[in-house]
Structure 1
Amino acid sequence: MLIKALITLVFTTFCTAAKAQDFYVSPSGSDKFNGLSPRANFWTNTGPFKSLSRAQQAIRSLKAAGKFNQAITVHVGKGIYPISTPLEFNNLDSGLPGQEILWLGEKGVTIISGGIALKNCQAYDTANPLKILSCPLDSTTVSRIKNEANDRILGNNPEIGFFVNEKWMQPARWPNSGWAHIKEPLDKFTQFSVYQKMPQFTGNLSTAQAHMYANNDFFDQYVGVSNIDLTNNKITLLDKTTYPLVAARRFYLQNIEAALDAEGEWFYDKANNRILFIPPYNVPPSSIVISGTTNLIIINESSHINFSNLTLRHSSGHGVKIQKSDNILLDNLEINNVVGKAIYGRQSTNITISNNYIHHTGQGGILIHGGDRPTLKASGNLIDNNHIHNFDAILFNHSPAIDTSGVASTVSHNLIENANGNAIDLSGNDHLIEKNEITQICQQSADCGGIYSGRDWTYRGNVIRYNYLHDFYGYEMDFTFTDISKNNIIYRYKGARGIYLDDAVSGMTVFGNILVNTGTMSIQIGGGRDHRIENNVIKTTGRAIWMDQRFPGFNWDNMRNTLKTMPVNSDLWLAKYPELGVQMEHDTWPEGNSIQRNVIISTGYLGYSLRYVAPLKGNAIGNNLLWHASSGIRLDYTILDNGYSVGGALWNDWLNQGIETNSLNVNPCLNISGSKISITCANSPIYSLGFQTNLPSDIGLVK
């Protein structure tokens, strides 16, 4: 009896001291406990809660009782926490400065899952060598699941993701790998013949969906299929494609039961309320899950809440959704196997997304928007030291690892790798993109960049510095050799860009970056103005710098109209961006650009390394160093004042035009090793150009 009394006294004392500071949650706990201890004690009814929502309610009750007077930590123990609805946080859940509310898990083992585990899966056909399994479903399970609406995803597909042993499964498709191709468009947007002979599919084809690059190599979408005419080898789409159909463009069909014939494929059999699948790699399935909740965590009009050391999985939409919130920390999370984006934030400020591991998502990694552009009020958003890869399993391009917009966010020290499309998109003003490493991207897309911005003259003040970009792919149709009439469809690994300043976007600073083999163009100025391209090191087989006037037919009125969307003539804007107050000589010409003190090492054929479309005056191009170990330097250029144009010009011919001055064609004595450069001779000519060699040593992830 004395021992029992002492134990009771110890727990009572602990709980009184910790009541306003610590709560505990465990899968082995009970929502009837008080949540004030990590261990259960039935004598005192003390122990961890079982559910996260119960801990949330306890904090709300504490605040309602006026007892919220210090920071609170919710210790979320090891285990899986299944949720059938999102964890929603609002102002009732907010902390205060110095009294933040922290939801703290155990790294790698505290898992919040919105998935529905499938049980009682049986062999579908024991005589079938494909080893198809069948998992029964409740008749309303799939119909209840919704994903985030996206106008690039149309058709009759179920709005779920399917995961076996935590591997992302592919809806049954044809062909099993690679692409089929359009032979001939039969109308503008909905009907085409197929170049390859389609299999004689049997059974119901009404659920089929086409994943297409219907017109180009940069825009992919999913459209429903109305009819598959196997006799005439043609397809009629249920939905119109965004761009007109073009011969030799690529697609594949999916969500067809008759195409279920490869490891890692699955099909939702709606008529029989079941999922059919072939396990990946002949490994017996130990975990079979479909995504259930649209989002896992929703943070709306909240502040001073922190989340750390949690693993988030199995949403049919975004993992974390943030709206109109401030001072939110997402740190040391792992987010994977979500159908949408890992983190989606809009109209939010002072959001810190740091040290996270984001992988195998469907439509991108992190999207964050904040700040106020008319007043240039900074967002204070920070995306730092995240490892992001395989982030575009569903939409292959324009589903970037990081998409930041608004005003003054910082994107730093991230490692972005292994993706089908682009890596970082930015729009708005005064963002800082620095010390990131980007590699192995644009594997299924072309006209695709490592760091991308475009299509607005008012996007100003953005700084892209000290990033290491290397080894990009690009995948595009080869127009030279593709000829349907001769049965030639040729695609090649080209078309990526390193830093892509597209469609007349202006006012960017690109300084001190290292770009090695980043595709067709290392830095592209697509008709833009007032860019500062300085002190970069570029090694490439393609064009190191490409500056153009834009293509014929480019709608310059769209750019002129962007000037009307912001107070560009206000004292605030003119003080920040004085170039906006300078009269444009020719608003369709690239003017005001400074391309100075860059080191370019060409390894391409005959030194083809530059393309300039420029007026005689209006840009500052000079003090650059270009080198090819076994050839001279060649370039293409057009002088806009007189229309004089030369392809494959020799370096001295270009210098004689007087547009570029004081540049050198000599060995720089410079070595690139990963994200670091070194000078290999004491008298390197780059010193005479004013090139700054002291680039940061902490580019990429900080361990």
Structure 2
Amino acid sequence: MKRSCETLRGIFLFALLLPCSTSLGLDLHVAIDGNDAWTGRPAQSNADKSDGPFATIERARDEIRRLKRQGPLPAGGVTVHIHEGDYVLERTFELTAKDTGTAETPITYRAHGDAKVRLLGGRPITNFKPVTDPAILKRLDEAARTKVWAADLKEVGITDYGDPVTPGKRPELFFQDRPMTLARWPNEGFTTIGKVVGGDVFTVHGLTGDRVGKFTYEGDRPVRWVDEPDLRMHGFWFWDWSDGYDQVEAIDLQEKIIRTVPPYHPYGYRNGQRYYVLNALSELDSPGEWYLDRQSGILYFWPPADSHSAQAFVSVLNTIVSMRKVSFVTLRGLGLEFSRGSTLTVHDGTDNKIAGCTLRNIGGSAVMIKGGLRHQVTGCDIDQIGDSGITLEGGDRNTLTPCGHTAVNNHIHNYSRIRRTYRSAVSVVGVGCRVAHNLIHDAPHMALGLIGNDHVFEYNEVYNVCLETDDAGAFYMGRDWTARGNVIRYNYFHHLGPPSTLLHGTQGIYLDDWSSGTTVYGNVCYKMYMGVLVGGGRNNTVENNIFVDCKYAVQVDSRGLGWAKYYFDGTNNTLVERLEAVPYKEPPWSTRYPELLTLYEDEPALAKYNQVVRNIAVDNQQWLRLLDNLADPIVTIENNLVDVDPLFIDAAKQDFRLRPESPAWAKGFKPIPFERIGLYTDEVRKSIPPRRVGMEEQ
């Protein structure tokens, strides 16, 4: 009996030494106080400090690689539990084909329990000192001389100072977990071009401009700037939907002329357009502003609070996490902050998931997915982004094969901080993406963008976007006859655009320049310049939508017969080139979109086969605007309820559900599932931010 007990005891001790693999998989642990020489199996270090969690996620990744070389991973896969703390990364965390999981053995990197875990692509700055250099003090604004602090970045190991304005190369300063402002003038808003004087004059759409970046200014402020070594300007130089950064080449104080460095902005420059100056030490004159001297490596900063009361970080890494040819890997509950470029990238692979992560304080894009199948971004909070929020790209347009990527239940706001136009909260490229249940707000330009086919945008709420731009759309697509089969349904767009219209206003859904074959169904457009704009395209359906308090509810035009006829006279061949780039004469294109086979012979400049049916329009200045001699029956207009009380439950509280006795039901209007629009709670998203009413009355 004693021998049997000894045998059992030996078996038990041997089992303790085996990897902790069960039907639920293997757990590894990473902690700030861990050690990469340990096994990573225990969640905490043991009493004699001989074993415990790893110290780095790279070590956990390498342990999984080692286990895979020994044989298959345990059923249920591997979960890497990352414990509370800030993990300052020295390099991008890279996952490659060696790190892939399978459907039976997935791999997860996640915050342990409810721990707050941040993977940081920046370095903490702890060596601020008062400015004492007389030459620097002389250049500073008098009010700033006792307020500005200096830190030598070389002392903390930062020697790549990049470029002041280029995403991926621009270092930024973050303080109190928010991005600070690169020293600029004016501190808020814009100044304006006086008169363009470059000498290369042109006229487009009745507006005169100059192709050369040379213009006059008013006042004497530029006297401060003549000694700035790398002065930059950011402006909407010709159109209010296209911004750009220019470098100043020279300032003529006598003639009051600023000249920029070529290449010039592609659309040129125009009298009265908006711009501001940045990257100027002489303009570091208010709390929260900073400047980096790239010759000395010294950072100057006027902190908005005691510089010892909160941490300051400078972004260093371009990318924090890179996943390439990886499958069945999940990142869950992690914070990713302080990168210069695209923070999290996924290339190829299948079935990866970014779940419940927080991505913020980023100079470039938050999440970029390119290629592969069925990748998901779900339940994430994304804010303070320099460029785009989420980009989904995949599928095969030649065969119309969908990729199945999704962006669902994400809260995205305060994006497009640095690049101010055509940087979406979510954009899709290719075939077959789904964008649903996202809450998007507070941005200078668009919220949702589309290129390709068979994408679905549904149940999203969008407000307070296009705040700085004109001729813009919260949802935007354009200039491609072949981008068909897309569905925009059950979204709530409200309170869009700047307080005053610049020229063309903001659209809720902008089907620009011959966008065709799109279904716009069951959306609500409230308080904006225009609800839906169909710009010259055909085969579009605008059905079962609600339009309230817009200047125009719906516009359909045949711009190819008017101001944009140069797309059809051989001057601009973009539409033809994009049509010929796809195999539209062969299946599946010829069977899915047979109308493309006869497009050239069917008056292509005329906006045919559009339908505007069974919509509700109330309290708009004009319900329907048809331009370029369009009229019914070229556009089908049927069963719309216009300027008749539809009997909403409570429009003042944005409750646009219809009462049972609404006259819209007799028109064939179908219920909109309002209860499904926007964010929802689940195992990943535990809470929903309070809904804001929107901007002040416009």
Q: TM-score range by the shorter chain?
A: 0.7 to 0.9
Matched, 1:569 2:569: no
Deviation per residue, 1:348-390 (Å, 9 max, x gap): 3211000000000101100110110110111110100000000
Amino acid in the other structure paired with 2:320: L
CA distance in 2, matches of 1:694, 1:478: 33
- Which of 515, 519, 522 aligns to 1:512? It is 522
Q: Corresponding residue for 2:537?
A: 528
Does the Cα contact within 8 Å between 2:657 and 2:672 map onto a contact in 1?
Answer: no
Deviation at residue 226 of structure 1 after TM alignment: 1.2
Q: Corresponding residue for 1:638?
A: none
CA distance in 2, matches of 1:678, 1:610: 26
Distance verdict in 2 for CA 1:30–1:9, change over 3 Å:
farther
TM-score by length of 1: 0.86
Q: Corresponding residue for 1:552?
A: 563
Deviation at residue 291 of structure 1 after TM alignment: 0.4
Unaligned ranges ≥5, structure 1:
1-5, 480-493, 628-665
Distance verdict in 2 for CA 1:679–1:137, change over 3 Å:
closer
Mean CA deviation greater in 520-529 or 233-242: 233-242
Deviation per residue, 1:146-203 (Å, 9 max, x gap): 58x9xxx569x97211101111111100111110111111212221112454242157
CA distance in 2, matches of 1:577, 1:196: 59
- Please list, as runs of the form range in 1=range in 2, the aligned pairs for 1:319-358 lying within 5 A after superposition: 319-358=343-382
Matched, 1:426 2:447: no
Distance verdict in 2 for CA 1:446–1:281, change over 3 Å:
farther
CA distance in 1, matches of 2:623, 2:368: 42
Q: Corresponding residue for 2:610?
A: 593
Amino acid in the other structure paired with 1:559: L
- Which of 438, 447, 461 aligns to 2:485? It is 461
Q: Corresponding residue for 1:115?
A: 122
Q: Corresponding residue for 1:487?
A: none
- Which of 96, 99, 102 aligns to 1:96? It is 102
Matched, 1:678 2:657: yes
Deviation at residue 676 of structure 1 after TM alignment: 4.5
CA distance in 2, matches of 1:228, 1:83: 42
Does the Cα contact within 8 Å between 1:217 and 1:476 map onto a contact in 2?
Answer: no
Mean CA deviation greater in 67-76 or 193-202: 193-202
Deviation per residue, 1:467-494 (Å, 9 max, x gap): 0110012377756xxxxxxxxxxxxxx7
Distance verdict in 2 for CA 1:615–1:563, change over 3 Å:
farther
- Which of 480, 488, 508 aligns to 1:498? It is 508
CA distance in 2, matches of 1:286, 1:217: 38
CA distance in 1, matches of 2:223, 2:356: 49
Q: Corresponding residue for 1:238?
A: 261
Mean CA deviation greater in 103-112 or 206-215: 103-112
Q: Corresponding residue for 2:679?
A: 701
CA distance in 2, matches of 1:313, 1:567: 43
Q: Name the SS of the counterpart of 2:295 in structure 1.
A: helix
Deviation at residue 442 of structure 1 after TM alignment: 0.9
Q: Name the SS of the counterpart of 1:62 in structure 2.
A: helix
Q: Name the SS of the counterpart of 1:263 in structure 2.
A: coil
Deviation at residue 143 of structure 1 after TM alignment: 4.6
CA distance in 2, matches of 1:670, 1:338: 42
Does the Cα contact within 8 Å between 1:146 and 1:316 map onto a contact in 2?
Answer: no
CA distance in 2, matches of 1:77, 1:375: 45
Q: Corresponding residue for 2:4?
A: none
Q: Corresponding residue for 1:182?
A: 193
- Which of 514, 535, 542 aligns to 2:551? It is 542
Q: Corresponding residue for 2:689?
A: none
CA distance in 2, matches of 1:120, 1:453: 48
CA distance in 1, matches of 2:332, 2:150: 37
Q: Name the SS of the counterpart of 1:185 in structure 2.
A: coil
Deviation at residue 232 of structure 1 after TM alignment: 2.7
Deviation at residue 567 of structure 1 after TM alignment: 1.3
Q: Name the SS of the counterpart of 1:57 in structure 2.
A: helix
Deviation at residue 619 of structure 1 after TM alignment: 2.6
CA distance in 1, matches of 2:12, 2:196: 81
Q: Corresponding residue for 2:69?
A: 64
TM-score by length of 2: 0.86
Does the Cα contact within 8 Å between 1:381 and 1:410 map onto a contact in 2?
Answer: yes
Distance verdict in 2 for CA 1:138–1:203, change over 3 Å:
farther
Distance verdict in 2 for CA 1:196–1:461, change over 3 Å:
farther
Does the Cα contact within 8 Å between 2:123 and 2:156 map onto a contact in 1?
Answer: no
Q: Corresponding residue for 1:404?
A: 428
- Which of 255, 264, 279 aligns to 2:279? It is 255
Q: Name the SS of the counterpart of 1:88 in structure 2.
A: strand
Deviation at residue 142 of structure 1 after TM alignment: 5.1
Deviation at residue 575 of structure 1 after TM alignment: 2.5
Deviation at residue 262 of structure 1 after TM alignment: 1.0
Unaligned ranges ≥5, structure 2:
1-8, 199-210, 682-698
Deviation at residue 44 of structure 1 after TM alignment: 8.1
Q: Name the SS of the counterpart of 1:59 in structure 2.
A: helix
Distance verdict in 2 for CA 1:540–1:322, change over 3 Å:
same
Deviation at residue 281 of structure 1 after TM alignment: 5.3
Q: Name the SS of the counterpart of 1:388 in structure 2.
A: strand
Deviation at residue 336 of structure 1 after TM alignment: 0.3
Deviation at residue 213 of structure 1 after TM alignment: 0.6
Q: Name the SS of the counterpart of 1:159 in structure 2.
A: coil
Q: Corresponding residue for 1:208?
A: 231
Q: Report percent identity of matched pairs.
A: 28
Q: Name the SS of the counterpart of 2:290 in structure 1.
A: strand
CA RMSD of aligned residues (A): 2.6
CA distance in 1, matches of 2:420, 2:499: 12
Q: Corresponding residue for 2:684?
A: none
Amino acid in the other structure paired with 1:536: N
Does the Cα contact within 8 Å between 1:514 and 1:675 map onto a contact in 2?
Answer: no
Does the Cα contact within 8 Å between 2:29 and 2:41 map onto a contact in 1?
Answer: yes
Distance verdict in 2 for CA 1:317–1:163, change over 3 Å:
same
Deviation at residue 679 of structure 1 after TM alignment: 2.8
